[in-house]
Amino acid sequence: MKKFILILIAAFFVVTATAQNVNCYRVYLHDKTNTPYSIDQPEQFLSQRCLDKRARYNIPVIEEDLPVHPAYLHEIGQASPQLRVLAVSRWLNTVVVCCPDTICMGYVRNLPFVDSVKAVGYYDNFVTPPTISHSSVSSNNNYGSDTLFYGSSYGQVALHNGHLLHAEGFHGEGMLIAMLDAGWFGFNTCSMLSNVYENGQIWGTYNFIPGMDDVYTNHSHGTSCASIILSSIYGGNDTLVGTAPAANMVFIRTEDPLTEQPLEEDFWVAGAELADSLGADVITASLGYTQFDDSTFVFDYSSCDGHTSVASIAATKAAHKGMVVCVAAGNEGSNEWHKLSRPGDAEDILCVGAINVDSIPASFTGCGPSYDGRVKPDVASCGWDTYMVSTSMFTGDNDSLYVYTYISTGSGTSCATPNLAGLATCLWQALPQLTSLEVMQIIREAAHQYNAPDTLMGYGIPNIYQAWLDHRTDAVHELSVAHYIGYPNPCGDQLLISNPLCREVSLTIFDLSGRVVYAESGFSAESLKSISTGNWPSGIYLVRVQERAGGSELLKIVRQ
């Protein structure tokens, strides 16, 4: 398999122009007086799923949930026939417009309902405003837990004991994840991921970037991130199972893969508000902002205080409106910036740093704390040599273009964030009595260094299974022995036996004639045992895992 470094979108792009003529502005509005919308009729602007969730968790619909006053939008639009509205925020009561005529922007500044205007970027081409497209929703998800073998992804799931939570029947069924990213090139044509469409798990797509109506073009960063969560791929050595393989997802493009400008933080805000209106349970965003292509927009680390960036403000609001918000810490740890990126600095969210399956922090992970001294990142997950689906394009005969998808590894907090977000989704599915803020807090408390956080992993590596055990409300749970896994299955020259709770066990492996082909009579507390099978004939083998405490389990393994 190929390896590549998957980094935050901000670092992908070569700066092609600086100090361009600014023509995009964030317009701050004064009020929502006399709006035709009412908090007594929220069904006019929020979906029923959103309203049901708000009611379930006693989250009121308030004035900031009301859409921007349509009369104000109309009046701003009258400033110039060249003016285009790029993004609107009901939470912040702002409108981002592109208008090349600075005289007309003077007119906008002087409107009685406008508080202020701030330059946020430059665009030189426009298209018809994007529209949302929903795929059909299916209630018949055919995901089967009895076929749950993790293959390459075992380590990144078991790092948090997520496989144990999966074994309890929680794979994300009925949950909705909103992914904010730059594009999902190849996702809709990849045969390895076709089951998510067959199961009706992709509930819709939306784009906020001018000129990029189709989210399945322009960039594949989202494809890799989504595969870390949704994969249910079974094929020998190409087996890959995600952290919430039965969850539903909506793709929201908020990132322009061709440039890096402050207005992309406004697109992030718009994406978070869309996620709320759709009734999303979780937001996962492997995007981060530090500095921008145009040197006239200067930001330093003091901007990472949770209150300077509009995206950071919106991330906190999203958490308080009933969503678990997972944001990448950024990949600036080895460069001059060094610290985390926005909106990972937001309050009451999960900012995710990167480690490998051996719990070693990645050198590139953005460091905390936030500028105002809060613990950041909040937690850490596998973002170093993380398994995922990758996409590349090549030219064949007659200059035909082909898309090639394959399982590979990548590194970056971009990978760590969806890995953790999927497991957070399953945890909330398992603990529906908790609010989004409570779910995020018990994830922090379940991390291995909660009482001694640091600047690389924050509170540390959450034990998602233990978080469930500690907070479930039904009968006291007895730990079963049905948690040992042999993989890959079928195996080649190497067999791995997982022991995620590090219990003292001995191993005996038989062929079908009863002949012992491997035995470890002593007791081992290793979390992962590697056994060479190169000399074994092809066939079926039985693995007996015997616990010193008395429990045992029998596994069936196929040697190819």
Q: For 292, which DSSP code?
A: -
In this structure, which amino acid lies at residue 312?
Answer: S
Which CATH fold would you assign to the domain 486-559? Immunoglobulin-like (2.60.40)
> Can you give the pTM of this predicted structure?
0.81
Distance of alpha carbon 237 from alpha carbon 246, whole angstroms: 22
Lowest mean pLDDT among 300-314, 315-329, 481-495: 481-495
Lowest mean pLDDT among 121-135, 277-291, 411-425: 121-135
Q: Find out whether 344 and 330 touch, Cβ atoms under 8 Å.
A: yes
Question: Average pLDDT in the 436-445 region?
Answer: 97
Q: For 345, which DSSP code?
A: T
Lowest mean pLDDT among 228-242, 413-427, 514-528: 514-528
Structure tokens at 519: 């035995």
Provide φ and ψ at 397, rounded to 5°.
Answer: -60, 145
Q: Kindly give the pairing relationship between strand 350-355 and strand 379-382.
A: parallel
Distance of alpha carbon 153 from alpha carbon 46, whole angstroms: 37
Q: For 69, which DSSP code?
A: P
> 145-471 and 486-559: same fold?
no
Does 143 score more than 70 pLDDT?
Answer: no
The CATH architecture assigned to 145-471 reads 3-Layer(aba) Sandwich (3.40)
What residue segments make up the domains of the chain, in order of their start? 21-121, 145-471, 486-559
pLDDT at residue number 180: 98
Starting from the edge strand earliest in sequence, which strands make up the sheet with 202-207, in order? Answer: 202-207, 248-253, 176-181, 282-285, 324-328, 350-355, 379-382
Tens-digit pLDDT profile for residues 455-468: 999 999 999 999 99
Establish how many alpha carbons lie within 13 A of residue 441's alpha carbon, considering only the half-sphere containing its beta carbon.
9
Tens-digit pLDDT profile for residues 152-166: 899 999 999 999 999
Distance of alpha carbon 284 from alpha carbon 383, whole angstroms: 14
Which CATH number describes the domain made up of 21-121? Answer: 3.30.70
